Chains A and B, each alone.
Chain A
Amino acid sequence: MGNETRMISAGYDVGTRFVKVCVARGGEMAGGASEPVAGDLRGVCRKAFRRACGRAGVSPRHVRRVAATGFGAVHVNGAGACLPVSLCAARGAHALAPAVRTVVDAGGLFLTVTSLDETGQAVDSITNDPCAAASGKFLEMVAGALEVPFEEVSARVQDSASPYRISSTCAVFAESEVISRVNTGADPADILAGVVGSIAGRAATLLEKVQAGEPMVLVGGLARIDAFVRIFEGLTGRQAPPLSPYPGLVPAYGAALAAAGLTGRRWFFLRPHR
């Protein structure tokens, strides 16, 4: 069964800010890439796919199965299936850490909390209302208005002694409020801390609405912001480590695993290595 056990599949997670692609070989994460969403979304998907294949050391032609997830999944050419993010986050998390029972996916505009059973099945999930207040995108816009590079946000938040709560709940209006606050002397670190706190608070509220067992992990773009992880853990009183090694790729990895299963009877009895 040589080739079959090393089946190469790809999963696309077309998010609200980034397209993530993960290439899996025989159930293992082989390579991944992330590209910012831009007008030519299909072009962005192709680019992310090529880069992920490059990192996996495979040629694009050898990718046998493809599945897509995320807000823009439907735009992926050639996807064998479009799957819910909760299912893919669960699948990916379970493959990396079978003990996990709760996955919090914190991305650009969506926060999704998924609870898993011991077989890695997603049994319950919840996502925020479609409002951009207290979202990753909100944080990005505020950081932009403060001229703080996104990579430095976490460090600046750690510096804050008193988080400042922006009164505009709207992400769009917050930009102008932030600029005028800074002009009247507010510390950017405090503003960023306030925003990160409000996102962590929103995630914590969602968490309360599902049966969220232990252990819990964080995935998605915001999982890479240490300050967010810390504040979220503080608010929930629980550990929520980012799922290594690439928390942003976990749903795409789950999609790649699901893709590998999207086959005819030839693959029916195949099980991943773990």
Chain B
Amino acid sequence: MPLLFAGCDVGSLTAEAVLLDDGGIVGAAIMNVRATPTESASAVMEQALCAANRTAAHITSCYSTGYGRFSIPFAAKNVSEISCHGLGAHWVNPHVRGVIDIGGQDCKVIRVDPRGRITDFVMNDKCAAGTGRSLEILSAAIGVSLSDLGPLSLRSSKPVRITNKCSLFMELEVLGALVAKKRIRDIAAGINDAVAGRVASLARSVALPKECAITGGVSKNAGVVRRLEERLDLRFVPLSVDPQLIGALGAALFARREYPGGET
């Protein structure tokens, strides 16, 4: 039976699974989390297997990562998200030397060497500012869905300036902007810029190389991405794989690397 490696990433808001064989990625899935990490993992893995037209019996080895990684019974081992994002992004684009991962409840900045191994990192999981959660609160304050926030903000030419660093104080500033009848697109731009500002602030504590990729759910917000590029004076290296899958991909790569005869 051909070797098939799986990676499962269970986060606070979403869960992902990736299936990898000699030829590359054969199946993947992204979904919102269920009530428990175990349920989330089973469900997302099933979806990925379905997409790959395989069954669980085909899986040679599965590794897990993410917030819920300790609760995944079918995973042989769990690996830190930092390592998985670094290796995963590097595998997709070997030029990558840095990764910024903006997830639902944390933000990580990672440096990798030419082989995709971590050389430095910093993580914020203490303060909601600069995470997806902050965007959730602030977009709700202006009644805009998370998926609309990016495109809307790109239409703004006069972003509202948000000066506070705490998401709940930013929320107050947003309410004030609404009272002052600022345009929603300008507030949206201000929100994305505020989040980008917190991430950039974190990124400066790691000497971030220019060949940097961005991963995680928030990387799909074009407004945040663009403002971050402007603040860090770089252009993110494109990834041909969905940025939300990078963590799970990294876990699958570790599963393959550590399996006897697995590494190609």
Contacts and interface: CB of A to CB of B under 8 A. Distances in A.
B128 A172 contact: yes
Interface stretch (B51-59, B93-101, B174-182, B233-241): B174-182
A171 B175 contact: no
B161 interface: no
Contacts of B12: 176
Nearest to A45: B179
B169 interface: yes
A130 B171 CA distance: 12
Contact of B168 (A39, A41, A171): A171
Interface in A8-63: 16, 37, 39, 41-42
A111 to B, nearest CB: 14
Contacts of A173: 105, 125-126, 128, 133
B43 interface: no
A132 B166 contact: yes
| Residue of A37, A72, A173 ringed by the most chain B CB atoms within 10 A | A173
A37 B179 CA distance: 12
Contacts of A172: 128, 133-134, 137, 167-168
Contacts of A135: 168
Contact of A109 (B137, B172, B179): B172
A176 B105 CA distance: 10
Interface string B157-168: 000000011111
Chain A interface mostly helix, strand, loop or mixed?
A: loop
Contact of B172 (A71, A131, A169, A170): A71
Contacts of A137: 168
A5 interface: no
Contact of B166 (A41, A72, A130): A130
Interface size class of B (residues with CB under 8 A): 20 to 34
B75 interface: no
B179 A42 contact: yes
A212 to B, nearest CB: 26
A205 interface: no
| Residue of A37, A71, A132 ringed by the most chain B CB atoms within 10 A | A132
A75 interface: yes
Contacts of A41: 175-176, 178-179
A169 B126 contact: yes
Interface string A244-263: 00000000000000000000
A169 B125 CA distance: 10
B172 A16 contact: yes
B123 interface: no
B134 A130 contact: no
Interface in A164-201: 168-173, 176
A239 to B, nearest CB: 31
Interface of A: 16, 37, 39, 41-42, 71-72, 74-75, 109, 130-132, 135, 137, 168-173, 176
Given A16-B172, A132-B169, 10 more contacts: A39-B178, A42-B179, A72-B176, A75-B176, A131-B169, A132-B168, A169-B126, A170-B128, A172-B133, A173-B126
30 contacts: A16-B172, A37-B175, A41-B175, A41-B176, A42-B179, A72-B172, A72-B175, A72-B179, A74-B176, A75-B176, A109-B168, A109-B172, A130-B164, A130-B165, A130-B166, A131-B165, A131-B169, A132-B166, A132-B167, A132-B169, A170-B126, A170-B128, A171-B168, A172-B128, A172-B137, A173-B105, A173-B125, A173-B133, A176-B12, A176-B105
